[in-house]
Structures are given as structure tokens and as C-alpha cells.
Structure 1
Amino acid sequence: MKIKDIFKLVIFTLLSVSFVTAQSEKQKALEAERQRILKEINQLNSLNRQVKKKETSVLKQVEDVNYKITIRQNLIKVTNDQANQLTREINTNQKEITTLRDQLKELKEDYARMIVKSYKSKSEQSKVMFLLSSDNFKQAYKRLQYINQYKGYQKKQAEDIKAKTLKLQDLNLELSKQKEDKNKLIAENRKVKKELEAEKKAQDELMALIRKDLKKYTAEIRQKRQEADRIDKEINRLIREAIATSNKKAGKKTSTGKFVLTPAGKALSVNFGANKGKLGWPVDRGIVKLKFGLQRSLIDRTVTENSFGIRIATENNAKVKAVFKGEVSRVMLIKNSNPAVLVRHGDYLTIYRNLSKIYVKAGDKIETGREIGEVFTNRTTGESLLYFRINKNDKNLDPEKWLTKR
């Protein structure tokens, strides 16, 4: 094999290893996401079993079916991405197998020529005679070096053949497993697609029922939206009040809607900010039923909901935990609504609303994971919903960007 060919082979091998590693990492990430979605589906099914004997409104049924459809669509997309990624990895492995087979063939041919040459050399004259026929000691030494180098080269060729053969076997096994994994993913996707079709059919039936009395359901949605707006506005007012009270105690008067921080408060705020995407969940088990930001009603697209936090469906009587260490700023008592707890972390705030029991009081210093109360369970619907918000001063943040992925 020429030096130029060897150089090309080394470069190709390095690039192949780098590409395969990148593909493998992507496959791991996709599988982790798929497992997360499957876990979310299992949690949803578990929560639905808890409330199946309760009275369920048509609007809630629409919400639940739509949520299921969204999850199934996400699962199908991720599974398709995995199958496509596996196809790319299979193609890469097949190319590498072809390259290895060519290399192995060339190595074996080279090795065979070397063995034949070695045999002929041995039959024509012994190595001893080859050394003794030297004109001087220096030539004899060089001949001895040549013999040893030739032996080493033979040994290296044999080792290379063995290594290439083992790698080829491993690649063939990996290729078989990849094809098997791909077939499993395709089969799973077929099953999920059937479930998705059934859920879309159920959604169509519910929407047909709603259209028969659209005014009634639209009025119900608007009423719920107005009540939610009222509660959010009250919480926003209480947050601004908490900021003003804190600043007044610190001897500062400001109307900027921002906390005046002590050195300790600044350190706590920096620590909280450094944990973005790493905060634990406020409940052990739960799924996000309402996301942050502007949402449009499924029933009437003219009705919007600007969600200042997220709504988490969880288990009955679920314990609520502080997502980060801090101080209980206040327990919020809101008219026609269940209590909420406001916890301060420097100039960050976490709000836990719709509680049935509260274990803390204003001024309590709490650590991460401290139980602060229990989620209220609606006796009529059987639902347990925690409304969770994160603020920096009076600015609303998307909690899902701060919580760790499950």
C-alpha cells in the first residue's frame, strides 16, 4: 500500500469515527426524548384513571383529547426522526463495512505475497548463511536488522488482519441490531398512528356536539377566561405590593417594579438564575396541561388566554415542593379562589396556586424541596391542578424553560 493511500485511509477512518460518534449522540438524544414522551403518556393515563368516575364536561373532554393528540403527534415525529437517523447510521455502517472488506482483501493479498516471499527466501538460503555471507560486521548487522524488521512487519500484518476481521464482525452485528431497532420503531409508529386516528375521531365527535350549541359553550369559555384574568390580575397586584413592601423595609422607595437587593439577595438571585433548565418540579408527578403565553381556545378561536404560568395536572392530594431555596414572601388569599404561596429567591419569585393545605407562613426560610402545601382536588371533576408561575421582579417568565426536562 502506497504512503498516499495510507494517508487517505487514516483521514477517512478519523472522519468516519467522528461522524458515527455524532450520529450515536443524536440517536441517544432522540431516544431520551421518546422515553420522556412515553412517560408523559403513562402519567396522563394514570391521571385519567383517577378521574374517570367523575363528571366530565364536554369542554374538558375536548381539552383532554386535544392534549392526547398533541402528545401522539410529538411521539410520531420523534419516532420518525429516530427511524430516519437509524437509516443514516445503517447507510454509514454499510459504507464502512464495504471499505473494511476492501481493506481486508488488500491486507490478506499483501500478507500472502509476503509469506510466499518469506518461504522462497527461506528455501533458497538459510538466515544464518545470509548473515555469514556478509562482507563485514556492519553489513551483517544491517542484514540482521532487516530480518527482524521483516518479522515485525509480518506480525503487524497478521495483527491488522485480525483487528480488521473483528471490527468487521462487530459492524455486522451492530448493523443487524440497527435494522431490528428500526423495524421496532416502525411497528410502534403504526400502533401510535391508529391511536391518533381514534383520538381525532373522538375530537371530531365532540366538536360536532359543541357546534350544536356553540353560543352556550363560547359563553362558558369566556366566563372562565374572565375569572382566570381576574385571579391573574390580583396575583400581579400582590406581587407589586410585595416588591413595594420589601423595598420600603430596606429604606428604599422605588416604583420600577424591581426588588432592591442586599448582597445576600443578589447572591441568591445569581444562584437561582444559574439553575435555569435545572430546577426540580413543584410536584413529584404531573403533566403540563396549559402552557405559558398566549393561547387560543379550541372551541372559539376569537377567545384567547394569556397564561402567565403553567397549569400542571397531578395526583390527588399531591404535595407541593419549593423548586429552590428562598423565603416565603406571603400566603395569598384570593377571593373565590384557592390560596397561593409566593416564595422569593432574591429578585426571582415562584408562585404556587390552587392549594388545599398550606404548611408554611410568611417569613419562613425554606430549602429546595421543602413541602409547602397540597394541591386542591376538585370533588366534581376529580382533577388536581397546580398553577405554577416564575417571575423576575414583576416580569413573567416561562416556567417550562426553567424546570428540568423529565
Structure 2
Amino acid sequence: MAYVKNNIVKFILLLVIFSFIGSSVAQDKKVLLQSDKKKLEEEIKYSTKLLAETKKSKKTSLNQLVLLKKQIRDREKLLQTMQKQVLAVDETIKLNEEIIGDLNTDLKKLRDEYAQMVYFAYKNRDSYNKLMFIFAARDFNQAYKRLKYFQQYSEYRKIQSQLIVKTRDELEITIIQLEANKQEKMELLSSLMAEKEKLNQEKAMKSNAVQKLNKKEKQL
């Protein structure tokens, strides 16, 4: 019975530690990266607006080239931030996979222990068998321990049953979180590809602007 109790305490501590680490550290990193991403997107949005205004004149200017260079720098920083987001999600996925593995292991142990308890309770389901088990002790101390064992047995079975339910629920929640993490990663990778395409377009625009400016300089 002491083994079961120690296992219960260990399991509860494990859940608390994993839940705290998983939610606190990952969330802080996610919020920070999201904040950086938002700032860069605002910078890019503003420079895009300025570029659109310079294009209205249909004349390539030095100002347009400067704006393009800045936008490319911001876009590259945005890509770096998004890559960090992907890595952060990967870390969360790995952590959740480890938690799921641990929860599955603990759930199996809890169910095995509970099955043993149910079997023992079945074998000693009547008062006569309980008394025989107690009187079969080799000495008074062992008899007393067996008596206390029966007194506490019902409560331990109840705790074990509650832990099985709690573990199963925690497992289901973590699996849902894992699926959400994987979906988030897919969306980030899709956005990352789109941003890379925009970056390539901006670099092509920059190259074209440089060529036009060089051509103008030669004509002067």
C-alpha cells in the first residue's frame, strides 16, 4: 500500500511540474515572438504604403530604392522571427509528446495496480476471508498492519480510481494540445513560404531599381 501511495504522490508532482513548465515557458516565448512579428509586419506594411506612393509617379527614384532595401531587411527579420516561432512550436510538440508518453506509462501502471486491488478485494470480499487473512499473520505486528490495510483499502481504491480518471483526462487534453500545435506549425510554415516568395519579389524589384538608376546615371 505504501508503494501505491508513493506512486500517487510521484504522479501528482509529475503532472504539476510538467504542466507548469509546459504552459509557462512556452507561452512566454510565444508571446514575445508574436510581439516581434507584429512590429515587423507593421513596419513592412508602412514601407509598402510608401513604396506604392513612389510608384504612382512611374519613375524609379533613389527614395524607392532606399525603401526597398529597408523592406527587404524587415522582411528578412520577419522570416527569422517566424523561423524561431516554428522552432518554439517544435519544442512544444516535443514536450507534449514526452508528456503523452509519461501519461500513457503512468495510466498503465495505475490501471494495473487498480486491477490488482480489485482482484484482491474480490478474493477477500466476505468478512470470514478478511478475518482469516488477518489471523494468518505470523505475529501481532503483521496482524495489526493487515487490519489497517483493510481499513484503508477502500479509500485507496477510491483515490486510485480518481487518479485513473484524472490521468485519462489529462492525456486527452494533451493530445488535443499536440494536434493544435501541429496545426499551428503547418500554418506557420505556409506563412513562411509566402513571406519567402514576397522577399524574392522584393529582391527582384530592388535589382530592377538598381539597374534603372545605373542606366539613368550613364545617360547623365
Q: CA deviation at 1:16?
A: 2.7
CA RMSD for the aligned pairs?
Answer: 3.3
Change over 3 Å in CA distance of 1:205–1:51 after alignment to 2:
closer
Structure 1 partner of 2:106: 103
CA distance in 1, matches of 2:41, 2:123: 67
Q: Is the 8 A contact 2:103 2:171 kept in 1?
A: yes
Alpha-carbon deviations, 1:238-294, whole Å to 9, x = none?
xxxxxxxxxxxxxxxxxxxxxxxxxxxxxxxxxxxxxxxxxxxxxxxxxxxxxxxxx
Unaligned runs of 5+ in 1: 134-140, 218-406
Structure 1 residue 164: Cα displacement: 0.3
Q: What does residue 377 of structure 1 align with?
A: none
Picking from 166, 181, 196, the partner of 2:199 is 196
CA offset digits 1:317-372 (Å, max 9, x no partner): xxxxxxxxxxxxxxxxxxxxxxxxxxxxxxxxxxxxxxxxxxxxxxxxxxxxxxxx
Matched, 1:165 2:165: no
Matched residue, 1:92: 95
Hey, what does 1:154 align to over in structure 2? 157
Task: Note the C-alpha offset of 1:126.
Answer: 7.3
Match of 2:43 in 1: 40
TM-score for both structures, normalised by structure 2:
0.79
* C-alpha distance in 1 between matches for 2:52 and 2:116: 73
Question: C-alpha distance in 2, partners of 1:205/1:5?
Answer: 69
Question: How many angstroms does 1:100 deviate by?
Answer: 0.5
Higher strand share: 1
Distance 1:164 1:10 in 2: 9
2:66 is matched with which residue?
Answer: 63
Cα drift, residue 87 of structure 1: 0.5
Code of the residue aligned with 2:65 in structure 1: it is V
- Tell me the secondary structure at the aligned position of residue 125 of structure 1: helix
Q: Within 2, Cα distance between the matches of 1:38 and 1:87? A: 23
After TM superposition, the structure 1 = structure 2 runs for residues 258-269 of structure 1, keeping only pairs within 5 Å, are none
- Which of the pair has the greater relative contact order for Cα pairs under 8 Å at 6+ separation? 2
Per the alignment, do residues 216 and 153 of structure 1 end up closer, same or farther by CA in structure 2, a change over 3 Å counting? Answer: farther
Q: CA deviation at 1:102?
A: 0.2
1:125 corresponds to: 128
Cα deviation 1:190-232 (Å, max 9, x = unaligned): 0110110010011111122333455999xxxxxxxxxxxxxxx
Instruction: Tell me whether 1:182 sits opposite 2:185 in the alignment.
Output: yes
Q: Select between 13-22 and 164-173 the one with higher mean Cα deviation.
A: 13-22
Q: Offset at 1:55?
A: 6.7
| TM-score, length-scaled by structure 1 | 0.45
What is the match of residue 83 of structure 1?
A: 86
Amino acid at match of 2:86: A
In structure 1, C-alpha distance between the alignment counterparts of 2:158 and 2:116, rounded to whole Å: 14
Where does the alignment leave 5 or more consecutive residues of structure 2 unmatched? 136-143
- The separation in 2 between residues aligned to 1:209 and 1:112, in whole angstroms, is 80
Between Structure 1 and Structure 2, the one with more helix by share is 2
Q: CA deviation at 1:35?
A: 2.3
Q: For the residues of structure 2 that align with 1:207 and 1:49, how far apart are their CA atoms?
A: 17
Alpha-carbon shift at residue 187 of structure 1 (Å): 0.4
| Amino acid in the other structure paired with 2:120 | K
Q: Following the alignment from structure 1 to structure 2, what is the Cα–Cα distance between the partners of residues 148 and 8?
A: 23
